[in-house]
């Protein structure tokens, strides 16, 4: 009897071992452990054994066999369950590398690169970075900068006017700033001198796009206000900037010019190592009327300002011959830099 029990147990264990799905394990659970299972059948025969000891021993053996088979079924069920889960997870997992292809890494746009480098160089020279709004009042953009009523830049022909008016302003007296110079006024009104700031930003003019003009472009403004600032400080700063930004082989010069908000005014050019000159921007000593508009006493404070195009610097540096390429966002162009 004991041998039969062991044989039935081993046969059951072998079947469990061969089961390859949760469903077949469940079927074995019923057939092996149910009333019609071989071990249950053997149990019914215990009563026919001759001695108490034999009954006892066989009974114990059947119970042990049932326990072993039950444990084997549970173990196999867990094993197959885990495998099934793993297979499911693997089947459903998204292979992202398949969609993305080989990983690519982006980088800053040409204009942003130039903007950030300019900031770095000026910070290195002791300047702080200031900001102003792109939608400006007529007063900040023109009036406070000594551009009176008749100034041509104030006409519809050059400037984009905005219908919206901030509280206290007349509609149609608000503009998309035509230069970064209004940040001069805002900075003077906001902080006490000494002031050493640069203000990079987007500016707008009513221009038809061509190879050298865009209705939207970028400038960087510089403003220094302190005691006893002279034109020599301006020239020295421009020269220090030129060498820091372009390299020691470059130099700069100032050429007389005119801006309503600086007096005297100058254009500044840089000389390339091959000897050729390139016009970079405008500059000059801050006009006394501008200091007054900024709430400063021209008898106490003096300063200089400069402004130039960021896009121009970037196109120059990378020999881009059409400024429109900087703004159309054609990936084939952008990826080159
Ligand atoms: N705002 C002037 C321009 O847009 C440049 C400039 C800035 C000139 C500061 C002098 C001083 O052309």
Q: Ligand 1, from 261, 266, 267: best to mutate by most atoms within 8 Å of Cβ? A: 261
19-29 pLDDT tens trace: 888 888 888 88
| Tens of pLDDT, residues 28-40 | 888 888 888 888 8
Catalogue the E-assigned strands of 83-240.
Answer: 128-129, 135-137, 161-162, 174-176, 195-204, 216-226
304 lines ligand 1 (CB under 6 A): no
- Inter-residue contact 142 to 153 (CB < 8 Å): yes
Which is nearest to 146 in space by CA: 223, 260, 222, 257?
260
Cis peptide before 264 (omega within 30 of 0): yes
For the stretch 95-127, pLDDT in tens is 666 656 666 788 899 999 999 999 999 999 999
Provide DSSP, 61-75: HHHHHHHHHHHHHHH
pLDDT tens for 229-249 read 999 999 999 999 999 999 999
Range with the poorest average pLDDT among 5-14, 144-153, 160-169, 288-297: 160-169
Q: From ligand 1's centre to the CA of 21, what distance in Å?
A: 80
Query: What is the whole-number distance in angstroms between the Cα of residue 308 and the centre of ligand 1?
Result: 7
Residue 181 CA to ligand 1 centre (angstroms):
6
282 in contact with ligand 1, CB cutoff 6 A: yes
Ligand 1 within 6 A of 284 CB?
yes
Nearest atom (ligand 1) to Cα of 304: 11
Averaged pLDDT score across all residues of the chain: 90
Summarize pLDDT for 244-275 with one digit per residue, the tens. Answer: 999 999 999 999 999 999 999 999 999 999 99
Q: Which has the closest alpha carbon to 303: 233, 239, 248?
A: 233
């Amino acid at each position: 009897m004991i041998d039969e029990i062991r044989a039935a147990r081993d046969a059951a264990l072998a079947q469990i071992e061969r089961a390859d799905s949760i469903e077949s394990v469940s079927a074995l659970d019923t057939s092996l452990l149910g009333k019609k299972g071989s071990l249950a059948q053997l149990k019914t025969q215990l009563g026919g054994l001759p001695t108490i000891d034999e009954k006892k021993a066989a009974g114990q053996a059947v119970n042990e066999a049932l326990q072993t088979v039950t444990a084997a079924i549970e173990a196999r069920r867990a094993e197959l369950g885990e495998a099934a889960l793993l297979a499911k997870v693997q089947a459903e997992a998204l292979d992202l590398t398949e969609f993305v292809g080989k990983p690519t890494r982006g980088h800053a746009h040409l204009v942003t690169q130039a903007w950030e480098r300019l900031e770095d160089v000026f910070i290195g020279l002791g300047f702080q970075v200031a900001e102003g709004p792109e939608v400006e009042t007529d007063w900040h953009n023109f009036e406070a900068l000594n551009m009176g009523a008749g100034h041509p830049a104030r006409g519809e022909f050059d400037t984009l006017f905005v219908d919206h008016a901030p509280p206290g302003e007349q509609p149609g007296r608000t503009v998309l700033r035509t230069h970064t110079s209004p940040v001069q006024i805002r900075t003077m009104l906001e902080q006490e001198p000494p002031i050493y700031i640069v203000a990079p930003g987007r500016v707008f003019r009513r221009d038809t796009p061509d190879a050298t003009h865009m209705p939207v472009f970028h400038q960087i403004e510089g403003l220094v206000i302190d005691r006893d600032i002279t034109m020599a400080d301006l020239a020295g700063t421009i020269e220090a900037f030129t060498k820091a930004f372009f390299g020691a082989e470059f130099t700069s010069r100032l050429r007389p010019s005119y801006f309503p908000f600086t007096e005297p005014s100058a254009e500044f050019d840089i000389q390339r190592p091959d000897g050729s000159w390139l016009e970079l921007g405008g500059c000059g000593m801050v006009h006394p009327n501008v200091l007054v508009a900024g709430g400063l006493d021209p008898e106490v404070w003096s300063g200089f300002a400069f402004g130039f195009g960021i896009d121009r610097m970037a196109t120059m540096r990378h020999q881009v011959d059409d400024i429109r390429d900087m703004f159309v966002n054609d990936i084939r162009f952008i990826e080159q830099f």
